[in-house]
Chains A and B, each alone.
Chain A
Amino acid sequence: MADVTFTVDGKKLTAPAGTLLIEACRKAGIEIPAFCYYPGLSLQAACRMCVVRQEKVPKLQTACTTTVAEGQVFITESEEIAQARKATIQLLLGNHPLDCPVCDAGGECELQDMTFKYGAGESLYAEAKHHRDEQQWSPAVFYDRPRCILCYRCIRMCGEGMDVWALGVQNRGVSSVIAPNILGTDGGSNQLDCEQCGMCIDVCPVGALTSGSYRYKTRPWEMNHVSTVCTHCADGCKVTLGVRQTGDGAEIIRSDNRDKSGINGDFLCAKGRFGFDFVENPERLTQPLVRNSEGKLEPATWEHALRFAAAKLKEVRDSKGGAAIGVVGSNRTTNEENYLLQKFARTVLHTNNIDHERTTDYAAFARALAGHKGKTASLRDIAAAPAILLVGGNPTEEHPLLAWLLRTNVRLNRARLYVANTSPIKLDRQAAATQELPPGGYKDLAAFLDLGKSDFSKAVLAEESLVVIFGQELRGPAVERLVQWGLKRGNVRFAYLGDHANSRGAADMGLFPDLLPGYVPITEPGAFAEYPNLPAAPGKSLPELLAAANNGDLGALLVVGANPVLGLKTDPATLKDTFVVVQDLFLTETAALADVIFPAASLYEKSGTVTNTYGDLQMVRKAADRPGVKPEFEILVRLAGAMGVDVKTLVPFGTGAVSADLGQSRGVQAGEADRHAVWLEANGIEPRLSPFDPFAILDEIARLVPGYAVDRVNLFGANDVRTDPGAAPGFVPVSALTGADLVAPAHDGLFTSAALGRYSPALRELERHQAHELAETAAD
Chain B
Amino acid sequence: MPRLVSHPDEVKIVSRRFGKGAANIDRYIELGGYESAKKCLEKGPDWIIDEMKASGLRGRGGAGFPTGMKWSFVPKQSPKPKYVLVNGDESEPGTCKDHLIFLHDPHAVIEGTLIAGLAIGAKIGFIYLRGEYRYLLDIMEKAVADAYSKGFLGKKIFGSKTEFQIITQTGAGAYEVGEESALMESLEGKRGVPRIKPPFPAVVGLYGGPTVINNAETIASVPHVIEMGAAAYAAVGSPRNGGTRLFGLSGHVERPGVYELPMGYNLKKMIYEVGGGVCGGRTLKAVVPGGSSTPVLLPEEIENLGMDFDQVGKAGSMLGSGGVVVIDDQTCIVEFALRTISFYQHESCGWCIPCREGTDWLKKSLTRFHAGFGEAKDIDNIQYLAENMLGRTFCPLGDAAAMPTLAFVKKFRKEFEDHLNGKPCPFARHVEMAVV
A→B interface (CB under 8 Å): 43-48, 51, 59-60, 65, 83-84, 87-88, 90-92, 94-95, 124-128, 130, 149-150, 168-169, 171-176
Q: Could you tell me if B350 and A47 are in contact, using CB atoms closer than 8 angstroms? A: no
Report Cα–Cα, A122/B393, bound state, in Å.
23
Assuming the A-B contacts A46-B351, A127-B361, are A172 and B174 also in contact, with contact meaning beta carbons closer than 8 angstroms in the complex? yes
Residue numbers in A under 8 Å from B4 (CB-CB): none
- Distance of A127 Cα from B345 Cα, bound (Å): 15
B353 within 8 A of A: yes
Chain B residues within 8 Å of A90, by CB: 388
Residues in chain A near residue B393, CB distance under 8 A = 48
Judging by beta carbons under 8 Å apart, are B353 and A92 in contact?
Answer: yes
A residues less than 8 Å from B359 (CB atoms): 173-174
Q: Could you say which residues of chain B place their CB within 8 Å of the CB of A51?
A: 392
Residue of B nearest to A127 (CB): B364
Cα–Cα distance between A47 and B350 once the two chains are bound (Å): 11
Rank and list the top 10 A-B pairs by shortest CB-CB distance, nearest first: A87-B388, A176-B350, A91-B357, A127-B364, A174-B360, A173-B348, A173-B350, A46-B352, A59-B391, A124-B381
B356 at the interface (CB under 8 A from A): yes
A502 vs B381: C-alpha distance when bound (angstroms): 62
Given A127-B368, A173-B360, does the pair A150, B381 have CB atoms closer than 8 Å? Answer: no
B347 contacts partner chain A, Cβ-Cβ < 8 Å: yes
B7 at the interface (CB under 8 A from A): no
B158 at the A/B interface (Cβ < 8 Å)?
no
A88 contacts B360, C-beta separation under 8 Å: no
With a CB–CB cut-off of 8 A, which chain B residues contact A127? 361, 364-365, 368
Determine how close the nearest CB of chain A comes to the CB of B432; give it in whole angstroms. 21
Closest residue of chain B to A59 (Cβ to Cβ) is B391
**Chain B contact residues, majority secondary structure:** helix
A44 to B193, CA, bound (A): 11
Q: Flag whether B1 is at the interface (Cβ < 8 A).
A: no
Within 8 A of A (CB), among B391-425: 391-394
Nearest B residue to A90 via CB reads: B388
**16 additional contacts, CB 8 Å, given A126-B368, A173-B345, A173-B347?**
A45-B196, A45-B394, A46-B352, A47-B352, A51-B392, A84-B388, A87-B354, A87-B385, A88-B354, A91-B354, A91-B388, A149-B353, A169-B191, A173-B356, A173-B359, A174-B350
| Bound CA–CA A90/B361 (angstroms) | 11
A88 and B392 within 8 A (CB): yes
Q: How far, in angstroms, from A288 to B394 measured CA to CA in the complex?
A: 65
Question: Which secondary structure characterizes the binding site on chain A?
Answer: loop
Give CA–CA (A171, B351) in the complex, Å. Answer: 11
A174 contacts across to B, CB distance below 8 A: 345, 348, 350, 356-357, 359-360
> What are 23 residue pairs bridging A and B, where the CB atoms are less than 8 Å apart in the complex?
A44-B196, A46-B352, A46-B353, A46-B394, A48-B394, A60-B391, A87-B354, A88-B354, A90-B388, A91-B358, A91-B388, A92-B353, A124-B384, A124-B385, A126-B378, A127-B364, A127-B368, A150-B350, A172-B174, A173-B348, A174-B356, A174-B357, A176-B356
Most chain B CB neighbours (cut-off 10 Å) among A127, A149, A171 = A127
Is the pair B196, A47 in contact by a Cβ cutoff of 8 Å?
A: no
When distances are taken between beta carbons in the complex, the residues of chain B under 8 Å from A173 are: 345-350, 356, 359-360
A130 to B350, CA, bound (A): 14
When C-beta atoms are compared, the residue in chain B nearest to A58 turns out to be B391
Distance from A306 Cβ to chain B, minimum over Cβ atoms (Å): 64
- Considering only residues 127-148 of chain B, those with a C-beta below 8 Å from chain A are none
Q: What residues of chain B lie closer than 8 Å to A126, measured between beta carbons?
A: 365, 368, 378
A95: min CB distance to chain B, Å: 6
Whether the pair B353, A47 counts as a contact (CB closer than 8 A) is: yes
B393: nearest residue on chain A (CB-CB)? A48
**Binary interface profile of B, 353-381, with partner A (CB < 8 Å = 1, else 0)?**
11011111100110010000000001001
User: Is there contact, CB below 8 Å, between B350 and A169?
Assistant: yes
Shortest Cβ distance from A95 into B: residue: B357
Given that A95-B360, A173-B360, A176-B356 are contacting pairs, would A48 and B392 also be in contact in the complex, using a CB cutoff of 8 Å? Answer: yes
Closest residue of chain B to A169 (Cβ to Cβ) is B191
- Name the distance in Å between A357's Cβ and chain B's nearest Cβ: 49
Most-contacted residue by chain A among B360, B378, B384 (CB, 10 A): B360
Smallest CB separation, A57 vs chain B (Å): 11
B353 neighbours in A (Cβ, 8 Å): 46-48, 88, 91-92, 149-150
Residues of chain B within 8 A of A168, CB atoms compared: 191
Which residue of the partner chain B has the closest CB to A43?
B196
A150, B394: Cβ atoms under 8 Å? no
Q: Are B357 and A60 in contact (CB under 8 A)?
A: no
Look across to chain B and name the residue whose beta carbon is closest to the beta carbon of A96.
B357
